[in-house]
Amino acid sequence: MQRDGLETGSNLGVLRTTRIIRWLLALLILTVSLQAPAASGAQTADEPEYAVQLIYAIPKDGEDRGLDQDGAILESVESAQRWLEEQTGGRRLNLVTERRGQPSIEFLELTRTEDELMHWPESSASYQIEYEARAAGFNTPGILNAIYYEGADAVDTTCGETPWPVYSPGNSFTLFLQGGCSVFSLLGEDEEAGWWELTFLHEFFHALSAVETCAPNGEDGHSLETNDLMYGGSEPWEYPVLLDVDNDDYYGHGRNACYDTERSPYLVPHGEIVEPYPAPFIDLEIEACTFENGEITDRDGLAEVWIVNLTPDPVEIVWFDDRGEPDSLGEIAGWDGGIFTSLPGDVLHVLDSDGGCLGSFVMPGFVEIGVVWAMSG
Ligand SMILES: [Zn+2]
């Protein structure tokens, strides 16, 4: 049996392919290919190492104060670690280390200016900075990037920002060292954690999902208590700042219905229960291209669905492209069948002869062969 792109025929065993239909399918695949994210490292089936990578990032044409070289960031992070130890009875962030066991700090010069990142349309700078870091290779599964960024955010008073894993796929949190926040200094390792040290940990706990809506004192990702690390209101922090006041919102509450960051594998030593935040997003493995110069080069790379028309009238199979325009993939005569191939996950629609929708379905994975019984409503 020929399994060529999209095929319709008088029955499932004898297939014809018209040139116009081939062209339509080529368009479909090309469009989807261009939408795919850039190639990324393959995610192994094994558990990744969960660790935090420190990164010092400067925008294009931005000033490099050398905070990765002079120890300023490492000292500040060590002060934060000591605060965390006090709050958790001895636990620390699991930092990515160099061979000698010292925390490693990477330097990253971004490809866009501070102004471009600040005003990128319909996006927060923190997303764009994360995307740049991913594109530069900071895209290892399990690694959370803590980005000290020599720039400001569009809102001048923003000191830190985190793509929240509850609502978006993220692998970073960013501290905006410039703008209104530049009045604060990174403190030394022997100093009590201050603004930046606590903001570093505040954003870190956001990246672990805190504070979720299931928390009794949570609102919009923050705690309502002014002396809580995750306080996000307009009042100043009330010192001493604590990690989850009363341990009822995000750390150490022990409930299963709400993620407890005490279980996070990013905190070492690990607790009795180790569980990464169960994000609804998973990185998919990008495989070798199966499309080149308008031709599908690996026909096994497509999922297959057999559609049988259980009505006396013809039905039409339609796919909507990324502009929302319907593309007809072909017709199946009454009481006839056809085989269609497309990418797994594509949504196809079955229309009756008047253009009314009889139903929609999602293309299956590679392993199964989908079967659709098209019936009138
Ligand atoms: Zn916050």
How far, in Å, is the centroid of ligand 1 from the Cα of 212? 12
Average pLDDT value for residue range 305-328: 88
* Cα-to-centroid distance, 204 and ligand 1 (Å): 9
- Ligand 1 centroid, distance to 89 Cα (angstroms): 24
Rounded Cα–Cα distance for residues 61 and 109 (Å): 9
Q: Do residues 250 and 289 make contact, with C-beta atoms less than 8 angstroms apart?
A: no
Buried/exposed code over 286-315 (b: 16+ C-beta within 10 A; e: otherwise): eeeebbeeeebeeeebbbbbebbbebeeeb
Q: Rounded to the nearest whole angstrom, what is the distance from the C-alpha of residue 230 to the centroid of ligand 1?
A: 6
Measured in whole angstroms, the distance separating CA 305 from the mean position of its chain's CA atoms is 29
The alpha carbon of 189 and the centre of ligand 1 are apart by a number of angstroms equal to 23
State the Cα–Cα distance between residues 20 and 34, nearest whole angstrom: 21
Where do the CATH 2.60.40.780 domains begin and end in the chain?
A: 6-34+288-374
Three-class secondary structure of residue 202 per DSSP: helix
What is the CA(228)–ligand 1 centre distance, in A? 11
Give the dihedral sign, CA 38/42/47/49: negative
Sequence-separated (6 or more) residues with CB below 8 Å from residue 330: 6, 8, 21, 316, 317, 338, 340
Confidence of residue 289 (pLDDT cuts 50, 70, 90): confident
How many Å lie between the centroid of ligand 1 and the Cα of residue 221? 7
Neighbours of ion ligand 1 (CB under 5 A): 232
pTM above 0.75, yes or no: no
pLDDT-derived band at 5, boundaries 50, 70, 90? very low
Residue-wise pLDDT tens digits, 118-130: 999 888 899 999 9
- Looking at domain 6-34+288-374, its CATH superfamily turns out to be von Hippel-Lindau disease tumour suppressor,  beta domain (2.60.40.780)
pLDDT at 22 over 70: no
Q: Rounded to the nearest whole angstrom, what is the distance from the C-alpha of residue 134 to the centroid of ligand 1?
A: 22
Q: Residues 226, 234: contact at Cβ < 8 Å? A: no
Local confidence band at 282 (pLDDT 50, 70, 90 cut-offs): confident
Distance between CA atoms of residues 274 and 33, nearest Å: 37
Residue 140 has pLDDT above 60, yes or no: yes
What integer is the mean pLDDT of 311-335?
89
Note the pLDDT tens digit of each residue in 27-41: 232 222 233 333 333
pLDDT, tens only, 165-197: 888 888 999 999 999 999 999 999 999 999 999
List the beta bridge partners of residue 304: 341, 369
